[in-house]
Amino acid sequence: MLNRLFGKFSKDIGIDLGTANTLVYVKDKGIIINEPSVVAINTRIDQIVAVGDEAKNMLGKTPPHIFVSKPLTNGIISDYEVVEKMLRFFIDKVYDEGFNFASRTRVVISVPLEITEVEIKAVEDVLFASGAREVNVIQSSIAAAIGSRMPIEDPIGNMIVSIGAGSTEVSVISLSGIVVWKSSKIAGDEMNRNIMQYAREVFNLLVGESQAEQIKIKVGSVIETNEKIEFPLRGRDIITGLPREVMITDAHIREAISRSVQNIVDLIKTTLEMTPPELTADIHERGLLLTGGGSLLRGIDKLVADATEIPVRISDDPMSSVVRGSGHLLDNANLLKEVKLPSARNRKN
């Protein structure tokens, strides 16, 4: 009775709680929040200073009493209290009209494939503490497939490769379930670290993670391009300790991230080797789908297609496919019932 009453006033939302970014989808409105999963805290007064874009801009630039936290590691909550504050901030932003009675909302949230029951319970606890009245937890690969309009309910093989910030997930889906999957922590953040290490070893230059990420986006590629791409890389000279700038090219980035990219290709091949023959035939005919921010690396679709000898396509707006899938499930109760994970809060030891 109370759930039906709250349902009339609340806003149902879908959440992609990602390592790099948190996206929030509101039913009938679409994606209204897309901000970095970063929180800045003043440790002197134990108070949040900034969340999202504003907090990310503070990375590496704060005085000692302001701590900038990235509270998700590989899509898993590493700092419960900070995630709770961050989610409460975003949910309050959804309800910026201040109608507190409506703050009891229904949530569909995605989680990584490699997650434990304890970690699922942590996600549920955080959302209930943030004001949710109902929490539905789904696997991120399922959400991404739904958001990319893959026919996951049919008895055919659907292969999706999600290259996020904290992890890469490869899944084969059929009849609304994941048949086989593999996951690796080699993903976007690892490529950033590769670029930082490369800059140090090749150019004797110390660069921050934000700078490395920007370079990856600007000039990153995994196959040779027709035109040479250059971009200035700025950092601190290891020898002199002074600021210095060098021009870095797409060839440098290819060399820096080559091992990580090859690990992702090997992960895809290993998953294909584990896939039942009937589903492999479907995938060979239909191809596989790339999604997540890593799928925007220049040439990665062609590289994977050449390595696997199957067609590869990139999802429309791959950065938001997970949250769009969560949003779709808000309107499809039957499919949500099929794909949601059992609540960890209701299980008895």
CB 262 within 8 A of CB 190: no
Ligand-binding annotation for 214, yes or no, is: yes
Q: How many angstroms separate the CA atoms of 328 and 342, rounded?
A: 19
Instruction: State the pLDDT at residue 89.
Output: 86
Give the integer Cα–Cα distance in Å for 338 and 319.
Answer: 25
Reduced to 3 states, what is the DSSP secondary structure of residue 346?
A: coil
Tokens linked to 345: 């809060």
Report whether 20 belongs to an annotated binding site.
Answer: yes
Flag whether 100 is marked binding: no
Mean pLDDT of 26-43: 92
Query: Domains plus CATH for the chain?
Result: 2-143+322-339 (3.30.420.40), 153-186+260-316 (3.30.420.40), 188-256 (3.90.640.10)
As given in the structure block, the two tokens for residue 249 are: 């090219």
On whether 153 is known to bind a ligand per the annotation, the reply is no
Q: What is the pTM of this model?
A: 0.89
The reply to whether 281 sits in an annotated binding site is no
Averaged pLDDT, 98-103 = 45
Q: Is 139 annotated as a binding-site member?
A: no
Q: Mapping DSSP to helix (H, G, I), strand (E, B) and coil, where does residue 110 land?
A: strand
Q: Indicate the SS3 state at residue 175.
A: coil
pLDDT band for 347, please (50, 70, 90 cuts).
Answer: low
| Residue 294 marked in a binding site | yes
Q: Are strands 13-17 and 105-111 parallel, antiparallel or unpaired?
A: parallel
**Between these two residues, 46 and 143, which has the higher pLDDT value?**
143
For residue 189, give the H/E element and its range.
helix 188-203
> What average pLDDT does the structure give for the chain?
90
Radius of gyration (C-alpha) of the chain in whole angstroms: 21
40 annotated to bind ligand: no
208: left (phi over 0), alpha (psi -120 to 50) or beta: beta
Provide the strand spans (E) within 255-330: 288-291, 312-314
Instruction: Average the pLDDT over 24-46 and give the result.
Output: 92
Spatial distance between the Cα atoms of 58 and 68, rounded to a whole number of angstroms: 7
Q: What is the pLDDT of residue 103?
A: 53
Exposure of 289 by Cβ count < 10 A (0-12 exposed, 13-18 middle, 19+ buried)?
Answer: buried
State the pLDDT confidence band at 5, using cuts at 50, 70 and 90. Answer: very low
pLDDT tens for each residue of 193-231: 999 999 999 999 999 988 999 999 999 999 988 888 899
The pLDDT of 282-290, averaged and rounded, is 96
Q: Please tell me the predicted confidence (pLDDT) of residue 119.
A: 86
* Across 162-174, average pLDDT: 95
Q: Identify the band that residue 6 occupies on the pLDDT scale cut at 50, 70 and 90.
A: very low
- Which of 130-144, 209-223, 258-272 has maximum average pLDDT? 258-272
Alpha helices in the chain, H assignment, sequence order: 2-9, 53-56, 80-94, 117-129, 140-147, 188-203, 209-219, 250-274, 277-286, 300-308, 321-329, 333-339
Q: Which amino acid is at 252?
A: H
Lowest mean pLDDT, pick from 41-55, 145-159, 189-203, 291-305 = 41-55
The reply to whether 185 sits in an annotated binding site is: no
19 is in an annotated binding site: yes
Residue 343 has pLDDT above 90, yes or no: no
- Of the two residues 42 and 100, the one the predictor is more confident about is 42
37 is in an annotated binding site: no
344 is known to lie in a ligand binding site? no
**Spatial distance between the Cα atoms of 95 and 151, rounded to a whole number of angstroms:** 34
Structural contact between residues 95 and 102, judged by C-beta atoms closer than 8 angstroms: yes
Work out the average pLDDT over 240-258. 95
What value does the mean pLDDT take over residues 320-331? 95
Residue 265: CB atoms within 10 Å: 17
